[in-house]
């Protein structure tokens, strides 16, 4: 009996390697979200205050496009691991490149800022998709319960790092020196790398070292050819911009925005037209396109917290708390804090009620909530336009609403992506889900420029109204989308069907 109990406890215990991966990701998120918390402030700050002196619209565009590129490069990052490095080495080298980028940004010279950002984007593209994959590979394929619990612990580590980072990096960056803040982000990534290397023994024997599928000679030649074409195209484009005296930060962010829109569209279209996809899978892909567009609109609004709402906190919000003026970047801890608080509540809710709510309905609900958050921000901006700093509770309320929307969309996003993926493109479709964030972030990066044209309050309002309208359409067509996704329920009418019928 004791032997049986010991065996049961062993099965319930998580692999030792999970702690290594959780801590590595916690510190990587610390470095990323810490840097993001102060990036837009640094870019918009005058040269006299140690910043880059960019126009606010340009600074916000850089931050948004930077986040878009991180999501965009997750797709090739996973491919590189599968074909060349293997996931473990991809995580290690990704972390090294990220740390190098933060180190460059810690150097008090504007020349190092742009190479630093590029390195962080490349490194995160390598690390982000592969460390998540490693968590799944710690568990046996049939061990769904422990794997789900392991991912819950992993995502808790992500959000814990995202809560702590703005408090440390934000304080050092805003109150002491911008580059000291970037240096703290570099230290965070270094700590993550050290414990990842030291904990490597825990992963030994649990994970495969080699890439999943090595390239054939023909595939290697194709990669070299495609890479050469890409480099030539980039060189020609830069040359044309230089010749036209148009090589500016604004134009570069605009070009990258187009890339972030065109690439996902091209990937989905190529899958849809592939001879490897049958008629049923094409029907599901058509349904997935609507979910992809909904996710794009969600991230378009949600991820403006790093630029538009971040600057709103600094310039138009009363940040007095218990007699002390808190750094604006500290408000960036709020969304992740609310995720930690609300996630368990939503987990219980989905278990009890979630089976009665389809994926399209959850996506529509996410859009309704997220759109409503910008309607609320429109009110805050209208008050601030009169020269009055608004209460911090406006941002608190907005972030609570947005996180509630995230709880409706994020947990089911990867799941529905796997479900609707054509058999021939199952692995690639996991990367496609992240492309929705890339497209949304890139488009959202350009929208704050409209503040100078129509005013910030109206800018928030039309975006919120657009997303609410999209959410209403999604809810209205839930029944049709359920048929396309294969979720059409038999028997009793679901709550969303009743709502649509009403």
Among 180-184, 303-307, 407-411, 419-423, which is the least confidently predicted range? 419-423
pLDDT digits (tens, 9 = 90+) for 62-83: 999 999 999 999 888 887 877 7
DSSP string for residues in 202-249:
HHTTTS--S-SSPPPHHHHHHHHHHHHHHHHHHHHHHHHHHHTT---H
CA separation, residue 350 to residues 222, 356, 491 (Å): 46, 9, 20
Is residue 386 pLDDT above 50, yes or no? yes
pLDDT of residue 204: 59
Q: Which residues pair with 390 in a beta bridge?
A: 317
Q: β-strand 320-321 against 390-391: which pairing, if any? A: unpaired
Is residue 200 pLDDT above 60, yes or no? yes
Mean pLDDT for 39-64 is: 92
Mean pLDDT for 277-284 is: 84
- Contacts of residue 222, Cβ cutoff 8 Å, sequence gap at least 6: none
pLDDT of residue 311: 95
Q: Which domains are assigned to the chain?
A: 12-214 (1.20.1250.20), 263-502 (1.20.1250.20)
DSSP string for residues in 121-181:
HHHHHHHHHHHHHHHHHTS-TT-HHHHHHHHHHHHHHHHHHHHHHHHHHHHIIIII-HHHH
Out of 8-12, 82-86, 356-360, 363-367, give the one with best mean pLDDT. 363-367
Mean pLDDT for 8-34 is: 79
Closest to 471 measured CA to CA, from 372, 353, 330? 372
pLDDT of residue 205: 62
More confident residue, 285 or 304: 304
pLDDT digits (tens, 9 = 90+) for 308-350: 999 999 999 999 988 789 999 999 999 999 999 988 888 777 7
pLDDT digits (tens, 9 = 90+) for 416-426: 877 787 877 76
Is residue 501 pLDDT above 70, yes or no? no
Indicate the pTM of the whole model. Answer: 0.87
Out of 75-84, 241-250, 258-267, give the one with best mean pLDDT. 258-267
Structural contact between residues 161 and 30, judged by C-beta atoms closer than 8 angstroms = yes
- Contacts of residue 44, Cβ cutoff 8 Å, sequence gap at least 6: 51, 52, 54, 55, 56, 59, 60, 311
* SS3 state of residue 313: helix
Is residue 495 pLDDT above 50, yes or no? no
Q: How far apart are CA 403 and CA 389, in angstroms?
A: 24
pLDDT of residue 43: 95
């Amino acid at each position: 009996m004791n032997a049986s109990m010991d065996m049961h406890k062993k099965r319930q215990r998580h692999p030792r390697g999970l702690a290594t991966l959780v801590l590595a990701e916690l510190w990587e998120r610390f470095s990323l979200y810490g840097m993001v918390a102060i990036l837009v402030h640094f870019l918009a700050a005058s040269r006299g205050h140690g910043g880059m002196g960019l126009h606010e619209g340009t600074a916000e565009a850089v931050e948004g496009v930077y986040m878009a590129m991180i999501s965009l490069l997750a797709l090739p990052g996973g491919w590189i691991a599968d074909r060349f490095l293997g996931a473990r080495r991809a995580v290690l080298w990704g972390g090294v490149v990220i740390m190098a980028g933060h180190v460059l940004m810690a150097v008090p010279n504007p020349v190092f800022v742009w190479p630093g950002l590029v390195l962080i984007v490349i490194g995160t593209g390598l690390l982000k998709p592969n460390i998540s994959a490693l968590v799944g590979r710690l568990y046996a394929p049939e061990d769904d319960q422990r794997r789900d619990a392991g991912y819950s612990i992993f995502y808790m580590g992500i959000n814990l790092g995202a809560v702590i980072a703005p408090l440390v990096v934000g304080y050092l960056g805003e109150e002491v020196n911008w580059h000291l803040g970037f240096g703290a982000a570099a230290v965070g990534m270094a700590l993550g790398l050290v414990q990842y290397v030291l904990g490597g023994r825990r992963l030994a024997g649990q994970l495969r070292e080699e890439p999943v599928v090595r390239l054939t000679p023909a595939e290697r030649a194709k990669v070299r050819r495609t890479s050469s074409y890409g480099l030539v195209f980039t060189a020609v484009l830069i040359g044309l911009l230089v010749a036209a005296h148009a090589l500016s930060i604004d134009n570069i962010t605009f070009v990258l925005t187009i890339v972030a829109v065109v690439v996902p569209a091209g990937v989905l279209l190529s899958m849809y037209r592939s001879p490897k996809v049958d008629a049923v899978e094409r029907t599901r892909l058509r349904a997935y396109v609507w979910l992809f567009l909904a996710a794009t609109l969600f991230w378009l609004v949600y991820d403006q917290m790093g630029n538009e709402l971040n600057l709103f906190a600094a310039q138009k919000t009363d940040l007095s708390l218990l007699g002390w003026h808190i750094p604006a970047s500290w408000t960036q801890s709020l969304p992740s804090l609310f995720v930690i608080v609300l996630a368990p509540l939503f987990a219980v809710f989905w278990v009890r009620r979630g089976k009665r709510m389809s994926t399209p309905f959850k996506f529509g609900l996410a859009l309704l909530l997220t759109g409503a958050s910008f309607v609320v921000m429109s009110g805050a901006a209208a008050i601030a336009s009169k020269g009055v700093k608004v209460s911090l509770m406006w941002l608190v309320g907005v972030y609570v609403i947005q996180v509630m929307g995230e709880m409706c969309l994020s947990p089911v996003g990867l799941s529905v992506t796997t479900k609707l993926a054509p058999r021939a493109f199952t692995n690639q479709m996991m990367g496609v889900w992240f492309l929705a964030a890339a497209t949304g972030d890139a488009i959202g990066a350009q929208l704050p420029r409209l503040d100078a044209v129509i005013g910030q309050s109206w800018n928030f309002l039309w975006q919120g109204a657009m997303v609410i309208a999209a959410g209403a359409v999604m809810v209205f067509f839930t029944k049709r989308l359920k048929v396309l996704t294969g979720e059409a329920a038999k028997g009793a009418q679901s709550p969303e069907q009743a709502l649509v019928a009403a």
